[in-house]
Amino acid sequence: MNIEGKKVIWKDYQKEIADDRFYYVRSCVRQNFFPGSETAFLRIMRDVLGKDVYEHPCHTTCTGIGYHGDIVPVETTMTVVARQFSLMNEAGYENLLPSCITSFGLYTEILDTWHHFPEVEEKIRKQLKKATGREFTVPKNLAHASDVIYKFRKEIAAKAKYKLINKNTGEPLRVVDHIGCHYAKMFPSKGVGGAEYPYVLAGMVEEWGGQVIDYPERRHCCGFGFRQYLVQANRGFSIACSKEKFESMQPFKPDMIITNCPGCPMFLDRWQYVINEIEGKRYGKNGEGIPVFTYEEVAGLVLGYDPWDLGLQMHQTDCEPVLEKMGIEYSPEDKFNLYADKKSELHNSFVKA
Amino acid sequence: MEKFGFSISKGRQINYDSNDRRVAEFIIENEPSFRLCIACGCCSASCTAGSFTRFSLRELNILISRGENDLPRNDLKKCMLCGKCTLVCPRGVNTRNVVFLAKQAFRKFDSYAI
Amino acid sequence: MEAAGRLAKSGFHVTLLEKETSAGGHLNDWYKLFPDRRDSSEVKRYLDDLMSSEQINFLTSTTIEKIESKGSSYSLMTNNGENLNADSIIVATGFDLFKSSRKEEYGYGIYDNVITSADLEGMFRKGKIVLHDNTTPKIIGIVHCVGSRDEKVGNLYCSKLCCVTAVKQAIEIREHLPESKVFCFYMDMRMGGAYYEELYREAQEKWGVNFIRGKVSEASENIDGKLIVKVEDTLAGRPLKMEIDLLILMAGMEISEGSKKLAEISGLNTGENRFFEAIDNHYGSNISNLPGVFYAGTCTAPMNITETISHARAAVSEVQDYLKNGKS
């Protein structure tokens, strides 16, 4: 495989990512699946990089999950999104920073629709005015949180305490990067690296010392979708998608998976347990699974935050193998202890923020 | 084991490398004109059985060449060997013999399964 | 070369400007030509013989920088600073092959064993078909319509010759490597020419080439370096996945870079398909929008060698008519 060929393509798909003064909109369910991720992100942005990231207390869900699940009509979704923009204008910010990939895909889609069909934008303006009395202007810059971490990956690498390298062998860790479908597949030009060979997570991994694996099913969807997943009987189809990915990546012996969507790591993490229960199959070495991380968790680990502060104990597939490989100091007995009961001094004041 | 309320769906991709193509190879050996098929569908259009049952010789020929033997195994018995397909084939495939040989092949290769 | 040779035979003075160091263009890269698989060097020799006339002034490594109309003739300035005068001009600037790396999903330039049809012709000329690591491939896939009939790369037209080239190359591979299996992944089989359909039949009957109708969506590499292609077997109605050792992309034809530059400096019209546009599709396919300037060959549309030579002769006829019967 010729990496130079990929680099040519990566260069074609670059996008404008804002530098500072971000307006952060959270994900609906991410805090439930991966509790430490968003907090880690804010920590890194504010304390480590010194950026201004603002969260409006009145912002709501973007209703992307409802829109994709056929529950919320598209015009309602657009009006809710218009309200988000209005709140952003009110707070005096222009750079929208969604935490969720589906949100990002939704905002991109809506902005593109309004660009091509200004009459729809007019209609939404009227609707918002009628419903809430608000007015809005569209954001100047739209970048996903992983784009921003990608942009500042070198600064993070400079402050890194650990690298994505196996301490025992000195080899870079073999990392599978999984991009959320709504990031680049809908609008390849809005994703760093395009849709075929996305670079946003690969860039982070390489900067932090790891090695990205290209395997045949790299572009395959994890199966989250929304509309079929909501019905229990349909989940067999979703799990088959994830299973296809696992079967394809197993011969490459990956050490970990990094993702940037809320749903994908949830799926890739939890389905390994279900596949083991149904078929008895595990995809890691020595009967382990393959640990799945969000990019904020990886950034946090690399910067030296305590794994249990990052919420890694909530993962279904144990993360300890990667922590061991990276040589990260952590206290196994504190894994499930509440904050007040923590015995070791390793955890920092991360949570107090 | 937990009861999840769903099971892992089976894929429907044709996995060409792992399919059993002995039936196709048997047919080609004994009726070389089978190779000439371009799947134009003229045979299925004229087919007596195809008008009233879900039987398409074009589809079965393609599936057999790819090694997907399940549907052909069940459906080939619908053929009445009337010969209308052989009359109309533009490439000159001896379709009637293909059906005959396919049935023979299934008997030959499936016999161990009984 | 054909046009120059014919004009010379009729007694005209011809200056042939060639941007490379030798004449022949793409013909120099080909191995055997369809439909009868005769050696391309025979055609090249025929054209070289025509060029041996003394009436032809052959300038190599020359391109046109400026072109001006001076009444009823043209003044051209070359990149070597030479000034030429012409009563009539024939544009035969030819085509470029589509750059297959633009189709990212096939991985040309990224995966070692993905090559184009032109690369394969090169392998045939060297007499060896090998993978990147010099081993012999056993399973070979051919993808039709790469860069043609494709909105995503901006080429809506059909390049006309790739289907017959794919069939020809499939036969040649089977000839060179009798143990191999060849799979052609096509959208349609466009065999519009004398003996083309017979070649298709021969590929199936005599050589056992497999044809699967479906456009390849992506190619990726396995841990052992084999390529996995995903295609829908549309005739079976199901997606299909298979391992291939060598993938060959049938790159389509596009207007050449030189033609584009010429169009800019001269004001010659190009059509929606970006090839030069003649003033009439049926009886004026050699005539351009500038008086005295005529087209010959693939700079107007995808053509095979037979058609190109006929088109060149027609251009010569137009030139003769133009110069003899008053420049109108």
Contact A277 B1 (CB under 8 A): yes
Question: What is residue C210's predicted lDDT score, i.e. its pLDDT?
Answer: 94
pLDDT for residue B112: 55
Select from C131, C223, C247 the residue whose CB has the most chain A CBs within 10 Å, as the one to mutate to test that interface.
C223
For residue A329, the model assigns a pLDDT of 87
**pLDDT grade for C181, boundaries at 50, 70 and 90:** very high
Interval A8-34 mean pLDDT: 86
Contact by Cβ (8 Å): A252, A174: yes
B2, closest residue in chain A (CA to CA)? A277
What's the pLDDT score for residue C328? 52
Domains, chain B, ranges and CATH? 19-113 (1.10.1060.10)
* pLDDT value of residue A285: 85
Share of chain A above pLDDT 70, in %: 98
Q: Say what the pLDDT of residue C240 is.
A: 93
CB C35 within 8 A of CB C164: yes
For the stretch A271-303, pLDDT in tens is 999 999 999 899 988 888 999 999 999 999 999
List C residues 212-231 in contact with A (Cβ-Cβ < 8 A).
Answer: 218, 220-223, 228
Chain A within 8 Å of C243 (Cβ-Cβ)? Answer: no
* Beta-carbon separation of A1 and C221 below 8 A: yes
- The DSSP code for A341 is G
CATH class assigned to C2-94+256-324: alpha beta
Residue C263 has pLDDT above 80, yes or no: yes
The minimal CB distance from A236 to the residues B1, B2, B6 is found for B6
Please check the confidence at residue C40 and state whether its pLDDT lies above 70: yes
Please give, rounded to a whole number of angstroms, the shortest distance from the CA of B70 to a CA of chain A: 22
* Residue ranges of A 227-266 with Cβ closer than 8 A to chain B: 232-237, 239-240, 243-244
Fold match, C2-94+256-324 / C100-253: yes
Which of chain B's residues have a Cβ under 8 Å away from the Cβ of C243?
Answer: 16-17
**Domains in chain C: boundaries:** 2-94+256-324, 100-253
Range with lowest mean pLDDT among A7-21, A48-62, C234-248: A7-21
Which CATH code is given to the segment(s) C100-253?
3.50.50.60
CA distance linking residue A237 with residue A270, whole number of Å: 15
Q: What is the pLDDT of residue A80?
A: 93
Q: Report residues of chain B scoring pLDDT below 50.
A: 113-114
Looking at this predicted complex, what is its ipTM?
Answer: 0.87
Weakest-pLDDT range from A185-194, C205-214, C288-297, C304-313: A185-194
Distance, CA of C300 to CA of B83 (rounded, Å): 49
What local confidence, expressed as pLDDT, does residue A29 receive? 84
pLDDT at A353: 36
What pLDDT is recorded for position A352? 44
The residue ranking higher by pLDDT, C171 or A344, is C171
Decide if A8 touches C, using CB distance below 8 A. Answer: yes
Judged on CB neighbours under 10 Å (0-12, 13-18, 19+), A352 is exposed
- Give the pLDDT band of residue A92 (cuts 50, 70, 90): very high
Are B15 and C211 in contact (CB < 8 Å)?
no
Residue-level pLDDT at A254: 93
- Residue B111 is predicted with a pLDDT of 67
A48: how many CB neighbours lie within 10 A of its CB?
Answer: 15
Detail the DSSP E strand segments found in C236-315.
238-244, 246-251, 253-255, 293-295
| Mean pLDDT value of segment A223-238 | 83
Domains contained in chain A, CATH given: 19-145 (1.20.1050.140), 150-329 (3.40.50.11810)
